[in-house]
Amino acid sequence: MNALFPYPTEGWEEKARALVAELRSLRSDPDAPFEYFDGGHTPGEGPDADDPALSADIGATWWIESLDPWRFGWDNTAAGWPSANLARERIRMGPPRPA
């Protein structure tokens, strides 16, 4: 299996599109299956919201939902560690659905 899981940086959309196109062009069979993993935080609104539909448009075939503690308000202290119930609630919501 050939796969890609890019790390988000400034200008990630343009970089991801260029990288997927370049990798496909270098393959002996550019139409062979190619797994592109992307991820982030959903659901969300505002400038920091992640959009699985945009990732799919770029070529992502998998979405990895981030359950890092900062999304639930962790303040980097032991006392401020968020309740696991917040992560469980997001998991119960299931995968993101196209709008």
pLDDT, one tens digit for every residue, the chain (99 residues): 566 666 667 888 898 899 888 888 888 887 888 888 888 888 876 666 788 999 999 988 899 998 989 989 999 999 999 999 999 999 999 988 766
Instruction: Dig out the tokens for 1 from the structure.
Output: 């299996």
DSSP assignment of 43-77 equals S--STT---HHHHHHHT--EEEE---GGGGT--SS
pLDDT at 84: 94
- pLDDT attached to residue 85: 95
